[in-house]
Structure 1
């Protein structure tokens, strides 16, 4: 099997080999392949097989303190610790390549009559396989980044051309709307509608700028201190205004007067993008759940975090795209989609020092946003944008 690892043509095939075929060969109940995200200092589930697949979904972010302990020496150990998603013993296999840690393979422990530690020969074979798997994983990730880079370059060129042609007509529309709004002869209803047109044109202009920034790698935030109550009201109002066919179900469990430093326009766009996907997944109408809570954390970990949960009642995310859902140009099969909505959303959340993840099916699609209430120090915020 160690030789086959280097022959697998793509990342999905490598994940299947390590989480489905390897457990059978080692006579273990399950396996999980985690990717190491240096920027977020956390692990992301790439694939799970066996019992672990019922608890961990592709794309889910997990914390593995046991894995962090092993990183100090990179050794393969059989340990009585608790791997993420399960409460039983297992084997943690760091995947160390030329660039350093690229992932972690978590193998479930044998149970019942099969329970026994790895034999020396099995440990050697597993170490050899891990070395080759790390090299293959690094190569596949590099290839994926290269493809994404080429796509982003093409997007930048296309977005620049569209922005040039798009802004001219929008300027004309805005000018006529302002004239109607300022005309003393216009009725109150006409003036209100003209002002609405102006606001929508301004929003389209901001979206065009943000798309250009995304394609060109620009990362700018306009943070301002706002009470959590006002922030959540703004997010809810955005969903109701932009997705009027959705029934918004709120579950806000936060102190409304706590102040957070956020770019509320970008956060509103994050929620709106997810709500738009929910509308499409549910055939144009249905219930959209927006929840919020304040999770305490020590100052060393960034202080309290605002956690938003967003969920629909549609069919959920297809398994074949769960691990690629936040990549540019990946769509859930809807017509006319650009595939940029969730990629933009994740970038905005990460620019705030937070995380955006897809949770296991529940039913429908469920997303979780966690972000610090306080703005990080300038140097830390700048590092998060790189």
Structure 2
């Protein structure tokens, strides 16, 4: 069948629950009026593949490439697609769809766009470096400003790194790729993942060094923030309600819980997602929080050592900053953190934070 005439690009917006909430005129011509329908009804793609693809899109506010087979007015059509999180504060995903043509010319165009974006980010980084040098005295007087700058810097670096990983992964998916080229691209992908680890580690260190103003905040809101950032194909976060409010440095405690949840995803020891359960109870003026996972657990002889800076339970790859930062955040809030065996297997982290109003 001859490919039918379609607009060059069509744009959809998909809510976190999977419903299509916006569709431009081109999308309506291509797919029909899909607003209010589940994305799963519009595509002809296995649910687990679609979930993994959408989770990847939600991790970046820069376009990440992929492919979908969509049900159009002219029948099922293979489409190239890019997706991105609408903004750092919104979980809606913006999808831009177009027909698959010459795959390598498409990749060339996409990589050219990525190079332009990286060049722009490098220029922003250089500008930030000059501003940093001019205002270092002011930054030393204001740890709050330093934290904001660190978060912005990490965000600007994380997006192009995620885009590089996405496009390299797309090329690696080609079964006809030459082995020499495949080996080189795998090294690029490994380096990009290492860069992402370094950025995350530096951000964690910046957060724990900041002396942010402490506020009353509901733990359930903090857990919700963590759940909006993690990859749902790697970890699922559950809450045992109710969760009380605590009086804490918001950014520090966000990073504390994000590290513990991410740690469960990294060490889950299986292909499927890890399941993490967050619970809490009040103990006079303190709130005891537990974060339990269903992974392989931590050997008893390593349970104290894992909180040391640079310590890792793996032979390769971990920078060992995450759990050391967790202990420092808890200690700065007057508490103690320890790890034990979870009732159903896995690891259970237990720590205390000041209660709200204490």
**TM class by smaller structure:** 0.3 to 0.5
Of structures 1 and 2, the larger Rg is shown by 1
TM-score, normalized by length of structure 1? 0.39
TM-score, normalized by length of structure 2? 0.41
